[in-house]
Amino acid sequence: MLSPAIIEDLVNLRLPEAQVRATLLELTPDRIDLAAIDNLLTAISHTVTDEAATLSDLGADAIDCAGTGGSGLSRFNTSTAAAFVLAAGGARVVKCGNVGISGRSGSFDFLGSLGFPSIMPVELLQELYAEHGLIFIFVPQFYPALQALGPARRLLGVRTAFNLIGPMLNPARPSYRLYGVSCSQGQSLISSYLCQSESIKKALVVRGEDGLDEVTHPGTTELFSIAPQNIRKESFHSPANGLSPLPQEPLTAEANAAAFLAIVAGEDTMSAHYHQLCLNAGAGFLAAEKVGCIEEGARLAAELLSSGAVREKFQNLRRSYGNRVG
């Protein structure tokens, strides 16, 4: 078991290169426990920028929908796309993300292809949130010390606790969460951590049977439904109904952006990406306590897409982002 002091030294770049690698190997999902997650988050919290504190109240009634990545599967940027659907349905969303570490299209690679900047001054984020009820928070802007560990993590080539805790670094501290995890050990650990968190009102921690860090279609998804001091395990099954599974070819951020634009324009109402988006937005509505089940939330998502409400939310927010940085 790694001591808190070693984890603190790792996060603050006080270890020699060989020890960095050895320490990261001790932080793989099959070796860590809840204490390691807590020690790591505590150490990282000491490196956060001062300006992050000004966002800490934004999450009081907001949801973050995020996945840990690392599944090794071809993936659409479902959780980032779902943020627009959730906001169009009246949920307040503080979406936290990063560029891709192991995949080709992280949330901010995808957003960049749609015309959204990564770094925004905090006061502008606050203005955008007040106006639209949706903002995107770039993790490295508030945790610059973690960027220096990126090359070592890439060279290591294995998942570590840093992959698991990415969505936990949201400085807005949202009360509601849809949290996707691609490994069973990580799903249990994150669920246990969220269950003990004082800021959480409700969360869903999901893992598809195919290893996808989101509600999967078609197939079965394991769900951990979290309330304060309570965890309930469930399964959700999405039948194929003759639809093709998600494509397996690698997807670039540009390809994902094109797929998203076709969906919000109403040009795509049949693809696997469309159904994946509706299901995960449905899970987000459930996590935000807007609906009673995923199926109800998925129907709401489909209605918001067909009515043009999601397209309007997307276009208005992109215009406002552009006006503030233009």
What pLDDT, in 10s, does the model give residues 33-52? 999 999 999 999 999 999 99
List CB contacts of 104: < 8 A, sequence separation 6 or more. 250, 251, 252, 253
pLDDT at 104 over 80: no
Q: What is the pLDDT of residue 73?
A: 57
Handedness of CA 56, 58, 62, 65 (dihedral sign): negative
pLDDT digit string, tens, across residues 240-280: 776 666 665 657 899 999 999 999 999 999 998 999 999 99
State how far the alpha carbon of 70 is from the alpha carbons of 33, 53, 126, 191, 266, in Å.
19, 29, 31, 18, 30
- The pLDDT-based confidence of 324 (bands split at 50, 70, 90) is confident
pLDDT at 69 over 80: no
Query: Is 248 part of any domain?
Result: yes
Query: Could you tell me the residue range of the domain that residue 248 belongs to?
Result: 58-143+153-325
Share of the chain above pLDDT 90, in %: 74
Query: Is 34 part of any domain?
Result: no
As a whole number, mean pLDDT of residues 291-320 equals: 98
Mean pLDDT (the chain, rounded): 91
pLDDT digit string, tens, across residues 200-236: 999 999 999 988 899 998 889 999 999 998 999 999 9
Nearest Cα to 179, choosing from 112, 245, 96, 259? Answer: 96
- The pLDDT-based confidence of 102 (bands split at 50, 70, 90) is low
Query: Is 240 part of any domain?
Result: yes
**What tokens appear for 29 in the block?**
């999902």
List CB contacts of 258: < 8 A, sequence separation 6 or more. none
Q: Report the distance separating Cα 206 and Cα 178, nearest Å.
A: 8
Q: What is the pLDDT of residue 105?
A: 74
Nearest Cα to 138, choosing from 326, 321, 323, 277? Answer: 321
Query: Is 174 part of any domain?
Result: yes
Beta strands in 172-240 (DSSP E): 176-180, 202-208, 219-227, 230-238
CA angle 162, 152, 138 (to 5 degrees): 50
What CATH number is given to the structural domain containing 169? 3.40.1030.10
pLDDT at 304 over 90: yes
- pTM beyond 0.85, yes or no: yes
Query: Is 42 part of any domain?
Result: no
Q: How many domains does the chain have?
A: 1
As a whole number, mean pLDDT of residues 75-93 equals: 95
- What single-letter DSSP state applies at residue 103? S
Q: Report the distance separating Cα 204 and Cα 290, nearest Å.
A: 13
Q: Report the distance separating Cα 202 and Cα 218, nearest Å.
A: 25
Q: Report the distance separating Cα 170 and Cα 124, nearest Å.
A: 17
Q: Report the distance separating Cα 142 and Cα 135, nearest Å.
A: 15
Helix (H, G, I), strand (E, B) or coil at 126: helix
Handedness of CA 112, 116, 121, 126 (dihedral sign): negative
Share of the chain above pLDDT 70, in %: 94
Q: Which residues of 277-296 are buried (b: 16+ CB within 10 A; e: fewer)?
A: bbbbbbbbbbbbebbeebee
Nearest Cα to 124, choosing from 45, 48, 58? Answer: 58
Query: Is 170 part of any domain?
Result: yes
pLDDT at 111 over 70: yes
Cβ proximity of 21 and 151 under 8 Å: no
pLDDT at 103 over 60: no
Helix 272-287 crosses helix 294-307 at what angle (to 10 degrees)?
Answer: 120
Q: Report the distance separating Cα 175 and Cα 170, nearest Å.
A: 11
Q: Which residue has the higher pLDDT, 194 or 154?
A: 194
Query: Is 38 part of any domain?
Result: no
Query: Is 104 part of any domain?
Result: yes
Q: What is the pLDDT of residue 74?
A: 54
Identify the weakest region by mean pLDDT among 64-73, 122-131, 258-267. Answer: 64-73
As a whole number, mean pLDDT of residues 15-42 equals: 92
